[in-house]
Amino acid sequence: MEFARKVWKVLVAVKDGLALLLLLMFFGLLYVALSARPGVAAVEEGALLLKLDGFVVEEPSAPDTLTLIMSQQAPVGEYRARDVVRALRIAAKDDRVKVVALDLSGFLGGGLVHLQDIGEALDLVRKSGKKVYTFGLAYLDDSLLLAAHSDEVWLDPHGGAFITGQGSSRLYYAGLIERTKVKVNVFRVGTFKSAVEPYLLDSPSEASRRSDDALYGALWLAWQADYRKARPKVDIDRVTGDALAWIKQSGGDPALAAKTAGLVDRIGTSSDFHRRLREVAGEDPRDDSFAGFAHTDLDTWLVANPEDKPGEAIGVATIAGEILNGEEGPGTAGAERIVGVLEDALDDDLAALVVRVDSPGGALMGSEHIRRAILRFKEKKVPIVVSMANLGASGGYWVSTPASRIFAEPATITGSIGVFAVMPTFGEALGQFGVNQAGVKTTPLTGEPDVIGGISPEVGAMIQANIEKSYREFTSLVARSRGISVERAPDWAEGRPWDGGTARQLGLVDEFGGLDDALAHAAKLAKLENGDWHAEYLGQEAVSPLASVLKRLGAGGSASTGDDFFATVARRQASLFARLEASLRGLMETRGVQAMCMECPALGSGLARRNDHTESGLILTFLKATAG
């Protein structure tokens, strides 16, 4: 008994000690978070430093504090495009900013529309008489497009710069599926709805190839036009025509070849770059090293320059990423979460509503729930305008149909008006292992759809009929909202994605313009004058102090600064592979009817972000188990 009491005292002491330790850690982190919070006093006269280590996205994901603490790997950084643009616009007018320093050594990319918006903001800085300096290790299309709007583009001696052009690449599983004897039941409508082709074919169909050629050809032309406007002396044809000969002319040195072609202006290390900034921005009072320069980072700058909110509010509802049915997001368009945000805003007496879409679509039911929530504003006579960023396709277009006007950019990908469903069955595959199924049915629908034994022809016909009904509903919805003929749906639907220019010609888009243009039009519909309104971003979640401090302590997505060009490119490709894996996982799951543009390019980490608690689908699990 005495021994038990001693053991109990030890356990209580351990418990109390752990509780005290956790309490001390909590208050310590809270103190650091509060003391580390940037403010006006932290702004340094000198350079505005934009160190973009990660992706530029429409809507960053909300950081999960527990994941940040437990993860052995730093999460990929995400930067809201609107925040970067706002920071640059303010810098153009603020005398405290002498120069803008753009560090792209850890940049992983972003959508073309976002990059164009940031490029225009960089041009505003230069027009104000201030210089823009950029440093990078590996410049590819995305980072080159940003760097082109600089006065000096710096490249590490071991780096390089290449123009790769627009394109797409998908994996095809017909051979693997045939080998494993899994039957993939595909239900779709639309000649160009090629999302299901990876299960059926070993390569793209002719219709899919034609569609991709037209879409990516238009995006490639848009990229070239923007780059040539910013850096007209670069001979793009020379760089892309025979890249090997171009490199060999500089002795096999990619950095020297990039400078010779005019892709970059100066070759030097990050220390050289910092010394250059020290010359133009001044010395950093907090850093007396030879490379220290006076600067203010992006987070500090944004906190020091809060947004003005004059007059009435025009709500901005963001639908970014794949549309799912649940609470997912931000960064993923969880329909239940977005509907909740919209319903909360119904009582806010908004003067107008702008729906900002950057989504390839997803769950048809989730898209419809969001559409219905938007329609409630229409019932209250609230003007509704849609602004499309990089993507407003399939389900992303479905949720756009309540708008009186749709704004997009020439580089926006939209349309993809079609639906599909994929349902795997495993009867023949399991039969190889001696597993068979038998039972009793009281009606033809008993146990259907049977994902083990196989879907009966009657049930398969019923599912296909439902898909066709959903497609008719989709095309009718678009025809009514856009005032175009549903009889001509084969010309603008059939699951084909369009670039913004073609979509405008087809009547799917009304006008070219960005979010600012959509807000101005919404204000006009609400009969508001300039200065009498402000944008109210609905459901925008603030980063918790604890998550913020963990990021500052090193859990953020900082990129290595010691990689050479090829290691940097490999890191980008690894990120692309992770996004591809997430996309495949989404396809492999047994899910409902989808209005999803799988042909659309993955944009940043936001698009491929899937809800982590979702397990792999049956087909992916089976393939993993049997492929060996």
Q: Which domains does the chain have, with CATH numbers?
A: 36-167+214-304 (3.90.226.10)
Please write the tens of the pLDDT for every residue from 51-102: 999 999 999 987 665 555 555 556 678 999 999 999 999 999 999 999 999 9
Q: What is the average pLDDT value for the chain, to the nearest integer?
A: 83
3-state secondary structure 564-595: CHHHHHHHHHHHHHHHHHHHHHHHHCCCCCEE
Q: How far is CA 427 from CA 113, 183, 449, in A?
A: 46, 8, 13
Active-site hit among 98, 193, 259, 551: 193
pLDDT at residue 561, as a whole number: 47
The mean pLDDT of 272-282, rounded to a whole number, is 94
pLDDT exceeds cutoff 50 at 249: yes
Note the pLDDT of residue 602: 67
- Catalytic member of 394, 416, 575, 583: 394
Q: How far is CA 5 from CA 13, 14, 17, 403, 421, in A?
A: 12, 14, 18, 72, 63
Pick 553 or 387 by higher pLDDT: 387
Which tokens is 91 given? 């810098």
Instruction: Reply yes or no on whether the pLDDT at 111 is more than 50.
Output: yes
Helix (H), strand (E) at residue 392: strand 384-393
pLDDT of residue 145: 97
| Beta-strand relationship, 77-80 and 312-320 | unpaired
| pLDDT above 80 for 20 | no
Q: Examine the pLDDT at 560 and tell me if it is beyond 50.
A: no
pLDDT band at 595 (very low <50, low <70, confident <90, very high): confident
Mean pLDDT across 599-610: 55
Distance CA 481, CA 402 (A): 7
Q: Centre a 10 Å sphere on the Cβ of residue 371 and count the other Cβ atoms it contains.
A: 20
H-helix or E-strand spanning residue 12: helix 2-36
Question: In terms of DSSP H, where are the helices of 128-281?
Answer: 141-147, 174-180, 197-200, 206-230, 236-241, 243-248, 254-261, 270-281
Catalytic (active site) residue 560: no
For the entire predicted model, the pTM comes to 0.86
Q: Environment class of residue 323 by beta-carbon count within 10 Å: exposed (0-12), middle (13-18) or buried (19+)?
A: buried
147/506 Cα distance (integer angstroms): 34
Name the range with the highest mean pLDDT among 5-14, 162-171, 207-216, 372-381: 372-381
5's enclosing H/E stretch is helix 2-36
Residue 329: per-residue pLDDT = 85
Does the pLDDT at position 7 exceed 70?
no
Comparing 106-115, 116-125, 465-474, 550-559, the range with the smallest average pLDDT is 550-559
**What are the residues facing 295 on neighbouring strands?**
47
The H-or-E segment that residue 480 falls in is helix 457-482
Q: Residue 104, SS3?
A: coil
Lowest-confidence segment of 27-31, 201-205, 394-398 by average pLDDT:
27-31
pLDDT in tens, 293-342: 999 999 999 999 999 899 999 999 999 999 999 999 899 999 999 999 99
Respond yes or no: is residue 193 known to be catalytic: yes
* Total residues belonging to the chain: 628
Model confidence band, residue 603 (pLDDT cutoffs 50, 70, 90): low
**What per-residue confidence (pLDDT) applies to 64?**
61
